[in-house]
Each structure stands twice: as C-alpha cells, then as structure tokens.
Amino acid sequence: MTKANEDPNLLTLGLAQIAPCWMDRARTLQKVEAWVERAAAEGCHLTAFGEALVPGYPFWVELTGGARFNSPLQKEIFAEYAEQAVQPGAGHLDGVRAIARERGIAVYLGCIERATDRGGHSLYCSLVYIDPRGEIGSVHRKLTPTYDERLVWSPGDGHGLRTHPLRRFHVGGLNCWENWMLLSRAALYGQGEDLHVAVWPGSTRNTRDITRFIAMEGRSYVASVSGLMRREDIGDASEWQTQASAAAPATLADGGSCLAGPDGEWLIPPAPAGETLLTATIDFRRVLEERQNFDPAGHYARPDVTRLQVDRRRQSIVEFPGEGVT
C-alpha cells in the first residue's frame, strides 16, 4: 500500500489531457476508459478530463459559417452531434462507471448530454462526476454557454452545483468560462470545496491565469484539465469535415492543463500540447494552513451582510404532481 493510500489526507490526482475521437461517442468513451485504467494503475484516486470531450467540442461552428440561420449544413451537423451525444440513462457511461467501481477511482468527465428530462433533443455541456463506487454523483449542466457555443448548447441549471467527499477533500467542478462566474464559485465554496476541477476544451491562454486566481481566492487546490484538438483530429468522414479541416489551423486546442496549490503556486505548470497524464499527490493539510488567514465561506464571510441563494432544482417545462421531476 502506498503512502497516499495509507494517509487519507493525501489524494493522488490525474489530469488526462487527451483529444477526442471527434464526433464519435463510442470510440471516445473507449479512449476515456483506457485513460481511467492508466490513471488507476498510477495510483490516482481521481482523474479528470476536458470540457465536452465526449464526443468533442463544436469547433465546426467557427469553421463552417455556423451562424447562418436555417442553414441545411448546420442542421445536418447538429443532428450528427446530437446522435453522438451522451445519455447517462441509456447506459452510455456504464463502461467508465464499471472501471471506476472496479479500480476504486473517481472520475470527472466533460461530455455533451442529450437531456431526456428536457425532451431529449437539446444539448447541454455537462460535467459528470462518477464516484469510486461507480455511481454518478452529479451531472452539472453548464449554466451559460460562451459566445458561439450558444448556437449549439442550451443553458443549464443549478442542479449540479454540488461538491463530493473524496478522502479528506470536498471536490467540485465547473465548465470553462463559468469558472469566471463568481457566484457559481461561491456556491461551491459554501459546500466546503477544497479541490476545484475546472475543465476546458484546451487553451493555455485560458488556464494560466484563472487557475492560480481561483486557488488564491478559494485557498483551494485547483486543477485545470484541458482537452486537445489538432487539424488531423477533425477527420474526413464527411464532406463537411473535409471543409472544416481545410479552414482549421494546425492546432485548435493546445492543452494547458495545470494544477495550483492553495497558496496559488504552481504544482504542475501549464502543459504544452500533447496527450499526457499529469499526476500529483496533494495534501489536505495545506488547505487548513492557508485557510488560517482567509476562508471565503467561513471566518472571512459575512452572511449577516451578503449571502447567496442557489436553486438546485432540475429545471423542466413540465411537472407531474405526485411524481416529481427526475
């Protein structure tokens, strides 16, 4: 037994910086399963993947004139994307869950969710937490898609603003630019978050500043986990993919995965482009040390002056009295 397993204050974290098998849910999930196995073999208690990894970020929008209204091409691409989206209730994540259960490892996975509780046709950028028992602990739907993402993804709700106990830590996470939403961060701080997982499609320009800022604000460990996307990852399985590839730069998402400690200092500086598993063992006691002079939800909070209300109901256009909404 390793020292990290003996001491519950220690947690070994794996940041899986990989590219998707773009627009292919089954192949991308097979790849995720292999990297979860790799992380477990390296002694990780938690491994995390980038935003929208399954089946991939919608890079086509800026490459194929995605803002054209009522475009037959955009309808075709969206329909393909929806077909490849994840439905947890349909068992799409069962393989990942089985590995998590067998290896006793938790997983944060960014995916595109086709939400059956919202009719089953609109898409949400969701961050799924799978605990070491293989149970889905939360599905957080990105509250506000960013810029051209709004042409593809729907706004989420507060249902997934939750933290999860893992060894001595409480771990929470947010998608990409919603990490800039100060009240969303506060909602997690108030639930005891001391390990924050920020997932990104992949960009060092996004991760290099905010990772350390959130760590210093929250006096927490902060892991930014990015995906990758290169021109060759687009593929040429269809005419529109060939068109998108011709318009794409050599690198669309360049990684930048990193980890900051609760004092804001780098434990893992932003990684260059390339598939890799970055690992580090973190110590809960460092959180307690840094909370001595600042605790955003504790001794440095003033709930008598300012406080936050969070609606964690799963939103739906229909309710059936006596049955509830799942």
Residue 323 is predicted with a pLDDT of: 79
Q: 241-270: per-residue pLDDT in tens?
A: 999 999 999 999 999 999 999 999 999 999
The CATH number of domain 3-290 is 3.60.110.10 = yes
Q: Which of 21, 44, 125, 176 is catalytic?
A: 176
Q: 16-70: per-residue pLDDT in tens?
A: 999 999 999 999 999 999 999 999 999 999 999 999 999 999 999 999 999 999 9
Confidence class for position 127, pLDDT limits 50, 70, 90? very high
Q: Which of 21, 142, 178, 290 is catalytic?
A: 142
Residue 319 is predicted with a pLDDT of: 87
Residue 271 is predicted with a pLDDT of: 98
Q: How high does pLDDT run on average in the chain? A: 96
When computed from its CA atoms, the radius of gyration of the chain, rounded to whole angstroms, is: 19
pTM: 0.95
Is 51 considered catalytic here?
A: yes
Residue 2 is predicted with a pLDDT of: 65
Taking the domains of the chain in order of start, what are their residue ranges?
Answer: 3-290
Q: Which of 21, 33, 44, 51 is catalytic?
A: 51
Q: How many helices (H) and strands (E) does the chain have?
A: 10, 14
Is 176 considered catalytic here?
A: yes
CB atoms within 10 A of CB 42: 12
Residue 304 is predicted with a pLDDT of: 96
How many Cα atoms are found within 13 Å in the side-chain-facing hemisphere of 302?
Answer: 2
Q: What is the share, in percent, of the chain residues with pLDDT greater than 70?
A: 98
Confidence class for position 326, pLDDT limits 50, 70, 90? low
CB 104 within 8 A of CB 169: no
